[in-house]
A and B are shown apart, each in its own frame.
Chain A
Amino acid sequence: MSLQTITGKRVGDTYYKLEHPSGLTVFIYPKENSNSTYAVFGTKYGSVDNQFRRSDEDTVHTVPEGIAHFLEHKLFESEDGDAFARYSKTGASANAYTSFDMTCYLFSSTENVEASLEILLDFVQSPYFTEQTVQKEQGIIGQEIRMYDDDPQWRVMFNLLGALYHTHPVKIDIAGTVESISHITPELLYQCYHTFYDLHNMALCVAGNIDKETVLRLVDRYCKPAEPFAVDRVFEEEPRSIVKNKVTQALSVATPLFQFGFKEEAGKNRKTVKELAAVELLLEILASEGSPLFRELQQSNLINESSFSYEFFEGPGYASVIFAGESKNPDKVAQSIVKEVNRLRNEGIPKEDFERAKKAIYGRNVAALNSPETIANCIIALSFSNRELFEYIDALAEITLEEVTASLQTHMLEKYAALSVVEPIIPMEESKQ
Chain B
Amino acid sequence: MSVLLTAVVTLGVIGAGSAAILYLIGQKFKVEEDPRIQEVQDVLPAANCGGCGFPGCASFASACVKADTLEGLNCPVGGQATMDKVARILGQAAPVAVKKIAVVRCNGTCEHRPRINLYDGASNCTIAAALYGGDTGCSFGCLGLGDCEASCTFDAIHINPETMLPEVVEDKCTACGACVKACPKDIIELRKQGPKSRRIYVSCVNEEKGGVARKSCEVACIGCSKCQQACPFEAITIENNLAYINDDKCRLCRKCVPVCPTNSILELNFPPRKDKSPKEEKATVDA
A and B assemble together: no
Give B residues with C-beta under 8 Å from A.
none
